[in-house]
Structure 1
């Protein structure tokens, strides 16, 4: 390795170590893509070893993890030959989904081809759609788009492989399907796809609005997109026409506002409360006990942290909501949720300003 190239490697690594966010890291890598090769990854490992020797273990671990990701990416670089293999695999999966509605066979295909669940598949999916969909009749295009939605649902929930990449592939699939199921031609299907994209975007650990793991992008940006897509869906999920879809979107939108990083905290909580209240006009204890209890627990959390209004009144409302939720979340039927809501209720009582001392 020549001295000039080695010096460039070290300068890029130094720039990476000074980054304060994933976005900055991606910008540095993109700006220096011509230097990202096996030699660069090797030097990253050497720098990490030097850091360990002086006690900078946390930074060394971060640098090693990044070097492993880059090494994996370099190993999966696209060539015309392997892109053809990816397309063959994609077509096989889509055909399997069409032939087997329960998706079990398609799931087994994903298990057997985890090595193809990467950036190359995302690229091939977009290229295949651009080349295929325009040549199809309207009915055939809709059939294919529906298959893409099922594929995206499947890979979004696929527990193996790189979850980050799985989520990104799912989002691409949904976005392609939305070009066929447009708002003017298929309003309900379009709204459902908007909701699916929102669920995928907020699929991350520690995020209450869903249960998965989208790692890419800044969390604040992702939450803004979640809010955007749920608001899009609610333009077509009319309360009278699609009451369950409407109410479920209200609950999820409330969670997104509750977690929102941008904007005033007080305003975000008020928006969350309004969404939950709206949802509870449709999700009732008798008709939809699980969703009603979920909304009640979320309302309790929002009232407890509410900035607007009287603090004592808000705490009383929080206590009432938690007690409502406990009508459904019982120790025998749902011990984990029962314990969680009971803990929330205990916290509210600790902060309570009314009642006997």
Structure 2
């Protein structure tokens, strides 16, 4: 399987994350990608290439112009304001407040943030752009005839909405790739999100559309980030009614129950008959992940990768979460190897 990767992911090297009331080294760190790359090379998964340049047009089809301007200028504005640490949102336009971006960066960052754990640092914008280009390049290789490809995206993307960042995500890589397929002439795209955390950004972007079927297996939002989206009764709106499917699952969910939901999702995908499938590949469902509560074992990733492969669809895998750093390479590559064995 072809992998698309860029060293520009290292430009996203924040030092702080707000977790449990203290600033800690971020769980989403450059080492995650290095370990996945080492595993790809160890097993001989296939060719590794760098991304092409696509400009901003494919990104503007998903994200609002003012949001992109904010991301591009946040770090310089933060520094110009005299702040010494990394950029972290201190406030939000909460309920019954005016929903309008302030001019000062201290307020503006809160307007565009959906959570406070994700700091913005030097190089974040450049890394996010490169991550989107990794996804777009892998998608194009499939469009040109490859059965599958792995976009080793970092930063991840599935929490980013069309106008908000958070959950370590700035640009929604899978949404950008899906829209590129549709612009190219595809009629239907399915997105399967297997990350532990609900893909709230992807859901939000496509919630009123029927040309993208979105399915997400994740920790129940009562007890897991992003908390305020991902319930089973969220099924789409307007034209999108019935094209959004959530599988919220409780603490200590093991592979037997998880795989039942995957099987249902795969059957729905088959009935939808998409032109292509995009998988938001998060491996934070692993039993030892430090910020999740599912109980999958490493061998389970081989099994479910094979099930996805049996769908027989052109498939783009985009890397999302997974924070048990020493196992993230084995688990991510197991999915890809299982897919190829189907």
Whichever structure has more helix as a proportion of its residues is 1
Shorter-chain TM-score above 0.5: no
The TM-score normalised by the length of structure 1 is 0.28
Whichever structure has more strand as a proportion of its residues is 2
The TM-score normalised by the length of structure 2 is 0.29
Q: Relative contact order: is structure 1 or structure 2 higher (C-alpha 8 Å, sep ≥ 6)?
A: 2
